[in-house]
């Protein structure tokens, strides 16, 4: 008498395999879609969250040209990817040498052919956690970016923004305040 042995998977084993594949798939899709969601929802207040996960040595930047219609992520001076960050121009202000809040003009960037292009917005993040420091007017809001790892604040008027931007409360003025 011949015995035939059939080797096959049970229904329970198949369900376990499908469950494991579903969990792994869900984890990877979540990571991919959340990264894209940050880029899509991007706003001026989310800039550091967009740049912080990037691997860089010198700086990670967001650079916007063509009246802020084209924005790119730049890592260590190399243009990486285009992002949807802004839909209209941004006006940027900083205090000049006399302490007067004045419009800030960014250094032009160069396209692939070496032609200069006007930069309407640029935000740089550095390895030590510091970043660009200025007031950016976008829409009807004023975004205050502090250089020393403080989260950005939002104000409704330029007067309130310039008061919040005043560095006298967070920059040490006496050498005894430095912690070396």
Output the six-digit token pair for 33: 């879609």
Alpha helices, H only, the chain: 11-41, 47-51, 158-165
Residue 164 lies in a domain: yes
State how far the alpha carbon of 67 is from the alpha carbons of 41, 75, 102, 139, 145, in Å: 19, 22, 19, 14, 21
pTM of the model: 0.67
Residue 116 lies in a domain: yes
Residue 104 lies in a domain: yes
User: How much of the chain is helix, strand and coil, in % rounded to 5?
Assistant: 30, 30, 40
Number of structural domains, the chain?
1
Residue 1 lies in a domain: no
Residue 3 lies in a domain: no
Mean pLDDT by 10 residues, the chain (180 residues): 69 89 79 49 75 89 86 88 85 84 87 85 89 88 83 88 71 53
Residue 95 lies in a domain: yes
Range of the domain at 124: 42-172
Residue 17 lies in a domain: no
Residue 125 lies in a domain: yes
Running DSSP on this structure, what letter comes out for residue 49?
H
Contact 38, 46 (CB under 8 A): yes
């Amino acid at each position: 008498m011949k015995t035939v042995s059939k080797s096959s998977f049970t229904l329970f084993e198949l369900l376990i395999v499908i469950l494991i594949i579903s969990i792994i798939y869900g984890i990877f899709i979540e990571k991919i879609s959340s990264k894209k969601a940050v880029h899509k929802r991007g706003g001026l207040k989310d800039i550091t969250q967009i740049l912080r996960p990037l691997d860089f040595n010198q700086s990670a930047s967001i650079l916007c040209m063509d009246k802020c219609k084209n924005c790119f992520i730049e890592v260590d001076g190399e243009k990486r990817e285009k992002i949807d960050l802004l839909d209209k121009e941004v006006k940027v202000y900083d205090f000049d040498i006399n302490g007067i809040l004045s419009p800030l003009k960014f250094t032009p960037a160069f396209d692939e052919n070496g032609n200069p292009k006007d930069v309407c917005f640029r935000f740089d993040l550095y390895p030590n956690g510091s970043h660009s420091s200025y007031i950016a007017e976008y829409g009807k809001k004023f975004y205050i970016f502090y250089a020393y790892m403080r989260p950005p604040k939002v104000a409704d008027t330029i007067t309130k923004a310039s008061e919040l931007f005043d560095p006298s409360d967070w920059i040490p003025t006496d050498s005894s305040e430095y912690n070396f």
